[in-house]
């Protein structure tokens, strides 16, 4: 998979996929944006990363589930995380990151180390680090030690070595279980349609 930096968090992408599922798995991108009361470019980050993870295909302005996307929305929360974990491992970005964690002393990387890995991105490093940490934690690939400001590899990342701690969330990170809205300009006023989609997702 290409080296693509996630510009959304898991809740935003899952909310979009649950909404797509309510449209029988295929819909015009513009209509999905209308349902969320958002501009098209506001749902692009979630749409783009879903396509990177091979959960949807976008052609001629229409988004459609792949077989893997159908499997994801039809599964339990644990099953969904397993699918995301497997797909993240295939991306150049997370493959590089996990290799670095596996070879690092005590299987840990500092924020500075992570910043160097993502320095190729045009996105500000701080934002890149936060989104990558959020996705990695959601998929149980690594944990984040907020006090030491470092990533800690987890057993589920595939090394068989347990993490040394179970640290708290990174400062400012979006909780993967919260009903956050993709509308970045108004974080304190979540979109109600997206909230409904996320609640429906968590209930399945």
Report whether pLDDT(48) > 70: yes
pLDDT digits (tens, 9 = 90+) for 128-153: 788 889 999 999 999 988 888 888 99
Report whether pLDDT(26) > 50: yes
pLDDT band at residue 181 using 50, 70 and 90 as cut-offs: very low
Instruction: Supply the pTM of this predicted model.
Output: 0.72
**Residue 122 has what pLDDT?**
58
**Residue 186 has what pLDDT?**
34
Q: Alpha-carbon distance 3 to 201, whole Å? A: 28
Return the half-sphere exposure (C-beta side, CA atoms, 13 A cut-off) of residue 90. 10
Closest by alpha carbon to 182, among 174, 191, 173?
191
**Residue 53 Cα distances to 94, 105, 184, angstroms:** 12, 30, 22
**Residue 45 has what pLDDT?**
93
- 161 or 140, which is more confident? 140
């Amino acid at each position: 998979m290409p080296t693509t930096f996630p510009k959304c968090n898991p809740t935003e992408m899952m909310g979009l996929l649950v909404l797509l599922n309510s449209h029988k798995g295929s819909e015009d991108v513009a209509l999905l944006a209308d349902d969320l009361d958002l501009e098209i470019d506001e749902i692009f980050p979630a749409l783009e990363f879903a396509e990177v993870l091979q959960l949807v295909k976008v052609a001629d302005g229409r988004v459609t589930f792949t077989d893997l996307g159908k499997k994801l929305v039809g599964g339990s929360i644990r099953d969904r995380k397993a699918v995301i974990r497997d797909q993240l491992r295939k991306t150049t970005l997370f493959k590089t990151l996990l290799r670095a964690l596996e070879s690092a002393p005590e299987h840990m990387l500092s924020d500075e180390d992570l910043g160097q890995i993502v320095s190729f991105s045009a996105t500000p490093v701080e934002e890149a680090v936060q989104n990558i940490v959020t996705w990695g934690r959601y998929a149980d690939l690594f944990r984040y030690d907020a006090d030491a400001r470092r990533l800690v590899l987890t057993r589920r990342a595939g090394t068989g070595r347990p993490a040394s701690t179970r640290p708290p969330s990174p400062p400012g990170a979006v909780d993967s279980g919260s009903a956050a809205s993709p509308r970045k300009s108004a974080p304190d006023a979540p979109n109600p349609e997206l909230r409904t989609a996320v609640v429906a997702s968590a209930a399945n």
